[in-house]
Amino acid sequence: MASFKDDLSGRFAALGIIIFVVLGVLFSRLWFLQVLAGEQYAELAEGNRIREISLEAPRGAIVDRNGASLVKNRPGLAVALPPTAITDKPLISRLSALLGVSPQEIAQQVNEKRADPLKARIIKHDAGIRAVSYIKEHRELFPGVEIESEAIRDYPNGTLAAHVLGYIGEISDREILLPDFKDYALGDIIGKTGVERQYEDVLQGVKGTRRLEVNASGRPLRVLKQEDPVQGRNLMLTIETSIQAATEKALDQALASARDQEMSNAFAGAAVVMNVTNGEIVALASRPIFDPRKFLGGISKRDWKRLNRKKSYYPLNNRALLSYAPGSTFKPVTAVAGLETGVASSTEDFYCPGKWTGMGDDWPKYCWNRSGHGGIGFVSGIAESCDTVFYEIGLRLYRRRLEELQAWARRFGVGAKSGIDLPGEVRGRVPDIAWKKAFNAKTPQYAQWMPGDTVNMAIGQGDVLMTPLQLANMYAAIANGGTFFKPHVMRAVMTPDGRLAAEKYEPVAVRRLKASREHLRVLQEGLRQVTTDGTARSAFEDFSLEVSGKTGTAEVAGKDDFAWFVGYAPSSSPKYVAVVMIEQGGHGGSVAAPAVRSILAALHGLPTDMVEAHDESR
């Protein structure tokens, strides 16, 4: 019996020790949690109770040079849904029926916007007062649904200047990795194109913050503190609304005119209007147009597909910044190159039989006037756009083997970005020996630079490419005596209350054209005679304003001819240059020149009715 008692006592003692150890461990843990780590866990508990979300800041407004509104904000109401409510199928069904948004789209809005997990996702922007009122009156049917005030981008002039203004949208996974967006979060709205993108740092405001107390399920209970967002700064552009409208109207009329002349594929084009004394862009247009309002709240897949298909002619492309064969509008480069190198003289007489065989009888080329111009001088060759004159100059330049035509093209700004403060500008192209060799690396039999390459380039054909903006900049320099200004659309940055936030933009003279004044005067006279006696005389007949300019009809493989006209006025003291390009529009003299006349008329307060011009030339 004694041994049994001893054994039992031993067991009780062991059990007591175990209990003592367990209690000691528990006491030690409690002491650690409450004393040593108490402050840390209190902070964690507070962190679980308090959430901080960001508040979007209204973007700055955009106005024209006179302060007229181009883009502004208007108050709106948005319906938002917290991520935790997405599993409530009856709720989603009610919202779908009320807002006209499919359950799939609601799920997509909530699931794709990977921002703050607590922040409610907007499922319907600009919801409308009827829908909002119904939700507020029937709260029991819409638990967790929030109504948020928002600043909605508003376009008083509809699609006017859409390619200049651009559109906004949610930042993408790719964009958020860019250095420009290092301080942004997924779900933020940014400028995607145009000045909305170029001046994102100006237009984007400073976010606010809201501190919320939440329950264990993460649902907000009350607002503890709020710092209101700060609206972005306003942007004043060099664009003038009335001239922009006149330019777009003229461009549309030119497209319609081309189709009336049986150019059935003429649905795209561009126009640029620039101040030749300072580089200000007064108007810039591209067709077809897009509607920036379609992007508010996220563009539908259907609309996005339509904007990016060939059949729609890619409306999102800003064609003023894309490159094309310039045709005869390039001829001033050849004219100056010929005079400066001495291969041609302003007093020289040429002979144009219509068929030119300067490279041999096996490689004939033709003037646009198949009957020929007969004897023709240098200045008249410019005015009449005589291809034979420029074939001859091109061949003479080729024979010197110095690539001087290419050098002069670069001096005129071909093959280089102008530096305009708009995204998407391309360089164009100056073809030369090195380029052709690299381009034909896999077909070396075509890599050699031939006489015909220079001859074609001399009339703006072959492989030379220019943008409408480059042509405007080039002719602006011709008009003002040789100064190239940096084209720009920003005039000033303003505070939301309309005060200057920084100094106004000052014109930047980039460089001077190193050509003699006499040679420029010869060129200017040739361009003046284009509208009085040359290829654009029909378009500018009885026009009270003296205009200098150049027609162009560019041949493009597999397509109808592209129509060009570049003109500046007044000829004696130029202030503005205007360029119109119509893709597959036919002849520059009959399609593009009347449009430029209408634009210049608007700039000078003259009647802007489009004239009917018959085809003078290429």
Q: Return the CATH number at 203.
A: 3.90.1310.10
User: What pLDDT does 87 receive?
Assistant: 86
108 pLDDT above the threshold of 90: no
User: What pLDDT does 217 receive?
Assistant: 60
My answer on whether 272 and 183 are in the same domain is no
CA–CA distances in Å: residue 542 to residues 537, 546, 596: 9, 10, 15
Kind of pairing between the strands at 234-237 and 62-63? parallel
Query: Among all chains, which residue has been given the structure tokens 């209350």?
Result: 497
Q: Are 254 and 594 in contact (CB under 8 A)?
A: yes
User: What pLDDT does 310 receive?
Assistant: 94
Q: Give me 308's structure tokens.
A: 């990016």
Nearest to 551 by CA among 522, 582, 515: 582
My answer on whether 216 and 82 are in the same domain is yes
Q: Is 396 helix (H, G, I), strand (E, B) or coil?
A: helix
Instruction: Flag whether 206 is in a domain.
Output: yes
Q: Are 251 and 159 in contact (CB under 8 A)?
A: no
Q: Are 547 and 568 in contact (CB under 8 A)?
A: yes
Instruction: Flag whether 273 is in a domain.
Output: yes
Q: Report how far residue 554's alpha carbon sits from residue 466's, in angstroms, rounded to the nearest whole number.
A: 11
Burial of 422 (0-12, 13-18, 19+ CB in 10 A): buried
373 pLDDT above the threshold of 60: yes
Instruction: Flag whether 441 is in a domain.
Output: yes
- Model confidence band, residue 307 (pLDDT cutoffs 50, 70, 90): very high
Peptide bond into 451 cis (omega under 30): no
Instruction: Flag whether 75 is in a domain.
Output: yes
pTM (two decimals): 0.88
My answer on whether 226 and 109 are in the same domain is yes
Q: Give me 406's structure tokens.
A: 């290419």
Give residue 233's identity as a one-letter amino acid code: R
127 or 286, which is more confident?
286
Give residue 343's identity as a one-letter amino acid code: V
Question: Nearest 10 degrees: CA dihedral of 253, 254, 260, 265?
Answer: -120
Instruction: Flag whether 292 is in a domain.
Output: no
My answer on whether 168 and 270 are in the same domain is no
Average pLDDT over every residue of 211-225: 74
My answer on whether 176 and 260 are in the same domain is no
Q: Give me 599's structure tokens.
A: 């634009």
My answer on whether 379 and 519 are in the same domain is yes
Backbone φ/ψ region at 580: left (φ over 0), alpha (ψ -120 to 50), beta: beta
Query: Among all chains, which residue has been given the structure tokens 């560019």?
Result: 554
Reported as a single tens digit per residue, the pLDDT across 139-193 is: 999 998 989 888 899 999 999 999 999 999 988 889 989 998 988 887 789 999 9
My answer on whether 158 and 249 are in the same domain is no
Query: Among all chains, which residue has been given the structure tokens 């948020």?
Result: 148
Instruction: Flag whether 309 is in a domain.
Output: no
My answer on whether 455 and 569 are in the same domain is yes
Q: Report how far residue 368's alpha carbon sits from residue 298's, in angstroms, rounded to the nearest whole number.
A: 50
Instruction: Flag whether 384 is in a domain.
Output: yes
Structural domain harbouring 197? 52-237
Q: Which of these three, 202, 219, 237, is where a domain ends?
A: 237
Backbone φ/ψ region at 497: left (φ over 0), alpha (ψ -120 to 50), beta: alpha
Q: Are 167 and 111 in contact (CB under 8 A)?
A: no
Q: Which residues are CB-neighbours of 73 under 8 A, at least 6 positions away?
A: 58, 59, 61, 151, 152, 153, 154, 231
What is the number of domains present in the chain?
A: 2
- Model confidence band, residue 406 (pLDDT cutoffs 50, 70, 90): very high
My answer on whether 147 and 207 are in the same domain is yes
Give me the CATH number covering residue 546: 3.40.710.10
Q: Report how far residue 437's alpha carbon sits from residue 439's, in angstroms, rounded to the nearest whole number.
A: 6
> Which residues are paired to 54 by β-bridges?
209
My answer on whether 230 and 331 are in the same domain is no
- The mean predicted confidence, pLDDT, of the chain is 91
- Model confidence band, residue 494 (pLDDT cutoffs 50, 70, 90): very high
Q: Report how far residue 272's alpha carbon sits from residue 599's, in angstroms, rounded to the nearest whole number.
A: 10
My answer on whether 351 and 228 are in the same domain is no
Q: Report how far residue 116's alpha carbon sits from residue 56's, in angstroms, rounded to the nearest whole number.
A: 13
Query: Among all chains, which residue has been given the structure tokens 């490159």?
Result: 323
Reported as a single tens digit per residue, the pLDDT across 113-141 is: 555 666 778 888 888 889 999 999 999 99
User: What pLDDT does 44 receive?
Assistant: 42
> Which residues are paired to 562 by β-bridges?
554
Q: Which of these three, 199, 214, 237, is where a domain ends?
A: 237
Instruction: Flag whether 21 is in a domain.
Output: no
Average pLDDT over every residue of 566-582: 98
Q: Which of these three, 237, 266, 301, is where a domain ends?
A: 237
CA–CA distances in Å: residue 105 to residues 100, 130, 254: 10, 21, 41
String of DSSP letters for 470-505 = HHHHHHHHHHHTSEEEPPB-EEEEE-TTS-BSSPPP
My answer on whether 332 and 221 are in the same domain is no
256 pLDDT above the threshold of 90: yes
